[in-house]
Amino acid sequence: LFAEAPVVEFSVVELERPVAPEEVWAAGVTYEISEQAREEESGMADVYLDVYDAERPEIFFKATPSRTVGPGGAIGVRGDSDWNVPEPELGLVLYDGEIVGYTVGNDVSSREIEGANPLYLPQAKVYDRCCSIGPCVVGAGSVPDPHDLGMSMRIERDGETVYDDATSTAEMARTCEELADCWRAHNAVPELGVLLTGTSLVPEGEFTLQPGDTVRIDIEGIGELVNPVVEV
């Protein structure tokens, strides 16, 4: 189940998910760029600033198995939103609540819906094809430091690159263990779950994904997750 080395690159064909979590959860506002972006999109910016500096992180339910696709599977953008973005994230693979591996995740989201009102977060985050994970799971023992991994995202449209940037998980304001602890606390967690650790890169301004785009997310030592985009 858990690979000890990254897989080789592959063309954009749909592959099975490397792990089939019973639930996917996600953390929010764990990178400064994410906090800034959430402030920008919202009329209640202090809500996000308070979370970034707070003792308790934001942890929310993201996806069921039927809403989660693997490498090459089409991720979805909502047809009732004009501002949709990919969110590249390091994913923790947890068995009985313990971190056993790492994967790449894409927490596709509607910035327009969430920005209209924070109470709309579930609609902005949870819908058909809202999440992708892959291309593999690397065992926890094969990642010396999950808080020091290079990460990049490239978005292609009609054969052109329309977004390309890179960062590092060293920019994450919280640790993987802290987020896992909060996910487990007072919660009946599933036997096998994935916890996405927060958005590390955010396209500037009002950039929005379009059907036909391709999103490529690469995390050092894990691999590249590639997904085309469709409207749902």
| Encoded amino acid at 6, one letter | P
Tokens 């960062």 correspond to 167
104: closest CA among 151, 46, 156, 57? 151
Per-residue confidence (pLDDT) for residue 6, from 0 to 100: 43
- Separation CA 157–CA 124 (nearest Å): 23
Identify whether the C-beta of residue 137 lies closer than 8 Å to the C-beta of residue 18.
yes
pTM: 0.89
Residues 89-142 pLDDT 10s: 999 999 999 999 999 999 999 999 998 998 999 999 999 999 999 999 999 999
Are 18 and 133 in contact by the 8 Å Cβ rule? The answer is: yes
Q: Which regions in the chain score pLDDT beneath 70?
A: 1-12, 34-49
- Is 190 exposed, middle or buried (CB count within 10 Å of its CB: 0-12, 13-18, 19+)? middle
The per-residue pLDDT for 45 is 58
| pLDDT score of 12 | 60
